[in-house]
Amino acid sequence: MSDKDMVNHPPHYTQGGIECIDAIKAACEGLDGFEGYCTGNAIKYLWRWKHKNGVEDLKKADWYIRKLANGAKDAND
């Protein structure tokens, strides 16, 4: 039996003593709706890529960043 808490504190979401959820909360402060959603997901996948799904997570982060960029571009047009 492992003593890792894979629900509340999975190791692939804690780096350098910082939990990903705390970094996302700080980074998304002041963002609303779709911006916050895409930003938070991109951070999540970038945070864990080396410790969970490798290049697949980088591709997922890229997908969210592109959606975010397209939304920001549309808002500025």
> 71, 33 in Cβ contact below 8 A?
no
Collapsed DSSP state (helix, strand, coil) of residue 71: helix
How far is Cα 58 from Cα 62, in angstroms, rounded to an integer? 6
pTM: 0.84
- Give the tens place of pLDDT for each residue, 16-60: 889 999 999 999 999 999 999 999 999 999 999 999 999 999 999
- Distances in Å between the Cα of 52 and the Cα atoms of 11, 22, 25, 49 are 10, 19, 21, 6
What are the sequence ranges of the domains in the chain? Answer: 16-76
